[in-house]
Amino acid sequence: MKKIKFFMSLLKGHRVRYFTVIFLGIIISMAPLVSNYLIKTIIDDVICWHNYSIFMPILITLFSITLIRMLVWYYNHYTIDYVGQVVLLNLRQQGYKKILSLDFDFFDKNRTGDIMTQMTADIDFIRHMFAYVIYAFIENFVIFTGALIVMLATGHKSFYVILAIVLPTVGYLGYKLANEVRPCFRRVREMRSELNTIVQENISANRVVKAFGREDFENEKLEEANSNFKHAQFHSNEVSRKYMPYMSNMQSVLIFYNIIVGGILVINGNMTMGQLVMFNSMVWMVTGPLGQFGFLLNDFANCLASTEKIIDLLHTEPVIKNIAKINKTAINGDFEFKNVTFDYKSEGALRNVSFKVKKGQKVAIVGSTGSGKSTVINLISRFYEADSGEILIDGVNVSDIDLELLRSSIAVAQQDVFLFSETIAKNIAYGNTSATMDEITSAAKIAKAHDFITKLPEGYETIIGERGMGLSGGQKQRLTLARALLKKPSVLVLDDTTSALDANTEKYIQQQLKCYFKDKTVFIISQRISSVKDCDLILVLEDGKITEQGRHGELIQNGGYYARVYEHQFGDFAGLAEVNSNG
Ligand X SMILES: Nc1ncnc2c1ncn2[C@@H]1O[C@H](COP(=O)(O)OP(=O)(O)O)[C@@H](O)[C@H]1O
- Is residue 332 near ligand X by the rule CB under 6 A? no
Out of Mg ion, ligand X, none, what residue 349 binds, judged by CB under 5 to 8 A for its kind, is: ligand X
- Is residue 344 near ligand X by the rule CB under 6 A? yes
Q: Which is nearer to Mg ion, 263 or 370 (CB)?
A: 370
Out of Mg ion, ligand X, none, what residue 375 binds, judged by CB under 5 to 8 A for its kind, is: ligand X
Decide: residue 415, CB within 10 A, 0-12 exposed, 13-18 middle, 19+ buried. Answer: middle
- Is residue 345 near ligand X by the rule CB under 6 A? yes
Determine the distance from the C-alpha atom of residue 133 to the mean position of all C-alpha atoms in its chain, rounded to a whole number: 23
Determine the distance from the C-alpha atom of residue 578 to the mean position of all C-alpha atoms in its chain, rounded to a whole number: 54
Length of the chain as a residue count: 583
Q: Of residues 373, 407, 450, 533, which one binds ligand X by CB under 6 A?
A: 373
Q: Of residues 32, 155, 274, 367, which one binds ligand X by CB under 6 A?
A: 367
- Is residue 108 near ligand X by the rule CB under 6 A? yes
Q: Which residues lie closer than 8 Å to 157 by C-beta, 6 or more apart?
A: none
Number of residues in contact with ligand X under rule CB under 6 A: 13
**Selected range binding ligand X among 111-119, 189-197, 370-378, 481-489, rule: CB under 6 A:** 370-378
Q: Residue 413 CB, nearest distance to Mg ion (Å)?
A: 12
How far are the Cα atoms of 10, 293, 553 from residue 298, in angstroms, in the given order?
22, 8, 73
How far are the Cα atoms of 25, 223, 228, 232, 353 from residue 219, in angstroms, in the given order?
49, 6, 14, 20, 46
- Is residue 383 near ligand X by the rule CB under 6 A? no
Element (DSSP H or E) covering residue 356: strand 348-357
DSSP 3-state of 232? helix
Element (DSSP H or E) covering residue 208: helix 206-211
Q: Which is nearer to ligand X, 204 or 227 (CB)?
A: 204
Out of ligand X, Mg ion, none, what residue 466 binds, judged by CB under 5 to 8 A for its kind, is: none
Out of Mg ion, ligand X, none, what residue 236 binds, judged by CB under 5 to 8 A for its kind, is: none
Q: Residue 513 CB, nearest distance to ligand X (Å)?
A: 20
Out of Mg ion, ligand X, none, what residue 502 binds, judged by CB under 5 to 8 A for its kind, is: none
- Is residue 347 near ligand X by the rule CB under 6 A? yes
Q: Residue 541 CB, nearest distance to Mg ion (Å)?
A: 10
Element (DSSP H or E) covering residue 314: helix 273-315
- 385, 378 contact by CB (below 8 A): no
Q: Of residues 174, 372, 474, 489, which one binds ligand X by CB under 6 A?
A: 372
Q: Which is nearer to ligand X, 369 or 434 (CB)?
A: 369
What CA–CA distance (Å, rounded) separates 486 from 413?
11
Q: Of residues 13, 263, 370, 571, which one binds ligand X by CB under 6 A?
A: 370
What CA–CA distance (Å, rounded) separates 494 from 254?
78
Q: Which residues lie closer than 8 Å to 120 by C-beta, 6 or more apart?
A: none
**Selected range binding ligand X among 21-29, 32-40, 323-331, 371-379, rule: CB under 6 A:** 371-379
What CA–CA distance (Å, rounded) separates 412 from 507?
19
Out of ligand X, Mg ion, none, what residue 477 binds, judged by CB under 5 to 8 A for its kind, is: none
Quote the radius of gyration of the chain (alpha carbons, Å): 36
In the complex, which residues of this chain contact ligand X (CB under 6 A)? 108, 344-345, 347, 349, 367, 369-375
In the complex, which residues of this chain contact Mg ion (CB under 5 A)? 374, 415
